[in-house]
């Protein structure tokens, strides 16, 4: 059968007649190829753009793929920010690419036109499961880093409510609780994203922070001293984050830096319960965690030179409140009033252009290797099976 197929290729492409049958067989197995109804061989390539700077992306780039360089990937997404399944797939493809989509372009354009002398604009991405809210945030995060924003990035804050193995009572504030190891990991993430920018900004502490009788961070020290203190001494990491957040907020209000707060699953801050219980078996509310206290101050409107880019996600809520994907339901009354006013940004399933682009990308990366998978009929079947949902399409194509 393989020999017959190779001879057909030679009839369609006479210029290959000088090539041996064995070589033609190898070609047919290593090129992303598709046969149409007239047995014409077509090579399919992914629709890409060479413009890798998000600030230069426009509507002309919608549906195109741009590559994130490995050094940028390591700097910005080391702790998270790209879904695990997508990251595994990207590793298989030997490249990490994002598609330029409408929600990310909308937020980027609105950030460009924001008046930073006013309280921070708040943008909330919302949509059904698997539509690409996290990847849209990843695109926006890349833009913010490129434009010199100081990043406060919280890729998975819902883990702080659920992962209770390392929760300990605070040594500085009675009744409050810390996440020593997770706080130290976040400080490493902050250092990775912002270390070069912090050298340029030269921000300093406004007061002295005392950790023990022998350890303190003096007023006028670089802000990175707080980061190093928390990384080196996980016991104080949560308190270091509280101090760092307070200092950054002050510096932003004074006009010394512009700050972008990017939170995936921001509604988790307004869930009433956690999995952690006190000694008397009463549930600890998120407001009693130092990390939630530290970061929630950025959601207020009492500062400037900043933006908040959040997403609301059903899975960031507790199991009993996941019936709807809409912001009002997921945020509850408390979160709705806290974040008001905000600009809702809907994220939907793929449109026709995006769907074709993804299928072509999968063929280009040899992820879809069957002839039928890339044919017109195969595309119709993939669209029907996935319902144009990005996550479902990725799962359907895993077996092809």
State residue 197's pLDDT score: 96
Report the C-alpha gap between 272 and 169 in whole angstroms. 19
Q: How far is CA 353 from CA 126, 130, 309, 360, 383, in A?
A: 21, 18, 26, 11, 12
State residue 40's pLDDT score: 35
State residue 321's pLDDT score: 83
Query: Residue 44 domain-assigned?
Result: no
Query: Residue 390 domain-assigned?
Result: no
Query: Residue 201 domain-assigned?
Result: yes
For residue 99, list its beta bridge partners: 65
Distance from the Cα of residue 391 to its chain's centroid:
15
- Show the tokens assigned to 252: 């932003």
Query: Residue 22 domain-assigned?
Result: no
State residue 4's pLDDT score: 44
Query: Residue 241 domain-assigned?
Result: yes
Q: Is the peptide bond preceding residue 251 cis, with omega within 30 degrees of 0? A: no
Query: Residue 243 domain-assigned?
Result: yes
* Residues of the domain holding 222: 102-346
Q: For residues 113 and 307, is the Cβ–Cβ distance under 8 A? A: no
Q: How far is CA 88 from CA 72, 83, 315, 358, 366, in A?
A: 17, 9, 20, 17, 15
Q: Contacts for 381-387 with beta carbons within 8 Å, 24 or more apart?
A: 383/355, 387/349
In the chain, the number of structural domains is 1
Query: Residue 135 domain-assigned?
Result: yes
State residue 42's pLDDT score: 59
State residue 320's pLDDT score: 79
Query: Residue 83 domain-assigned?
Result: no
Report the C-alpha gap between 243 and 116 in whole angstroms. 23
Q: For residues 307 and 261, is the Cβ–Cβ distance under 8 A? A: yes
- Mind listing the pLDDT tens digit for each residue in 38-63? 333 357 888 999 999 999 999 999 99
Residues of the chain with pLDDT under 70: 1-42, 399-400
């Amino acid at each position: 059968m393989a020999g017959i197929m190779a001879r057909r290729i030679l009839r369609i492409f006479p210029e290959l007649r000088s090539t041996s049958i064995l070589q033609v067989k190898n070609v047919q197995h290593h090129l992303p190829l598709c046969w149409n109804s007239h047995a014409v061989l077509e090579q399919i390539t992914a629709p890409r753009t060479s413009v890798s700077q998000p600030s230069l992306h426009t509507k002309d780039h919608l549906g195109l793929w741009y590559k994130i360089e490995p050094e940028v990937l390591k700097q910005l997404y080391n702790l998270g920010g790209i879904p695990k399944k997508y990251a595994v797939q990207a590793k298989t493809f030997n490249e990490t690419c994002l598609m330029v989509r409408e929600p990310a372009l909308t937020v980027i354009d609105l950030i460009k036109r924001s008046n930073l002398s006013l309280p921070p604009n708040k943008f909330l991405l919302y949509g059904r499961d698997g539509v690409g809210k996290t990847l849209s945030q990843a695109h926006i995060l890349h833009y913010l880093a490129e434009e010199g924003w100081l990043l406060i990035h919280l890729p998975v804050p819902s883990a702080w409510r659920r992962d209770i193995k390392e929760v300990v009572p605070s040594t500085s504030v009675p009744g409050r609780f810390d996440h020593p190891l997770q706080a130290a990991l976040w400080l490493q993430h902050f250092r990775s994203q912002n270390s070069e920018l912090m050298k340029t900004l030269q921000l300093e502490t406004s007061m002295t922070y005392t950790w023990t009788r022998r350890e303190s961070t003096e007023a006028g020290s670089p802000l990175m001293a707080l980061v190093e203190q928390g990384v080196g001494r996980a016991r104080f990491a949560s308190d270091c984050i509280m101090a760092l957040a307070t200092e950054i907020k002050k510096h932003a209000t004074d006009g010394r830096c512009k700050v972008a707060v990017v939170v995936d699953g921001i509604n988790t801050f307004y869930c009433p319960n956690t999995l952690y219980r006190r000694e008397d078996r009463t549930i600890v509310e998120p407001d009693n965690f130092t990390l939630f206290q530290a970061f929630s101050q950025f959601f207020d409107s009492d500062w400037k030179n900043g933006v908040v880019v959040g997403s609301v996600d059903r899975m960031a809520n507790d199991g009993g409140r996941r019936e709807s994907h809409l912001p009002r339901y997921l945020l509850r009354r408390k979160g709705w009033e806290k974040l008001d006013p905000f600009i809702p940004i809907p994220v939907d399933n793929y449109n026709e252009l995006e769907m074709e682009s993804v299928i072509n990308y999968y063929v280009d990366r040899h992820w879809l290797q069957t002839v039928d998978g890339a044919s017109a009929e195969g595309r119709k079947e993939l669209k029907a099976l996935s319902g144009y949902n990005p996550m479902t399409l990725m799962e359907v194509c895993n077996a092809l």
